[in-house]
Amino acid sequence: MINLRELSKQYGERSPVVDRLNLRVEDGEFLVLAGPSGCGKTTTLSMINRLIEPSHGSIIVDGVDVRASDPVKLRRGIGFVFQEIGLFPHLTVGENAGIVLRLLRWQPKRIAERVDELLHLVRLPADQYRDALPAALSGGQRQRVGVARALAARPRIMLLDEPFGAIDPLTRDDLALDYRRIHDQLGLTTILVTHDMTEAMLLADRVALLRDGRLVQIGAPRELFSAPADDFVRAMVESPRRRARALAAVVGEPS
User: Which residues make beta-bridge pairs with 79?
Assistant: 158
Q: Is 46 helix (H, G, I), strand (E, B) or coil?
A: helix
When mean pLDDT is compared across 34-48, 104-118, 138-152, 236-250, the lowest value belongs to: 236-250
pTM of model > 0.75: yes
Radius of gyration, CA atoms only, the chain: 19
Per-residue pLDDT at 60: 96
Q: Which tens digits make up the pLDDT trace of 190-238?
A: 999 998 899 999 999 999 999 999 999 999 999 999 999 999 999 999 8
Q: In percent, how much of the chain has pLDDT > 90?
A: 76
**Could you tell me whether strands 189-194 and 157-161 are parallel, antiparallel, or unpaired per DSSP bridges?**
parallel
Contact 193, 42 (CB under 8 A): yes
* Residues 229-255, mean pLDDT to the nearest whole number: 80
**Type of residue found at 51:** L
* Environment class of 202 (CB within 10 Å of its CB; exposed 0-12, middle 13-18, buried 19+): middle
Higher local confidence (pLDDT), 247 or 38: 38
Q: Which tens digits make up the pLDDT trace of 164-200?
A: 876 777 788 889 999 999 999 999 999 999 988 999 9
The Cα–Cα gap between 136 and 130 comes to: 12
Kindly report the average pLDDT of the chain as a whole number. Answer: 92
Per-residue pLDDT at 254: 55
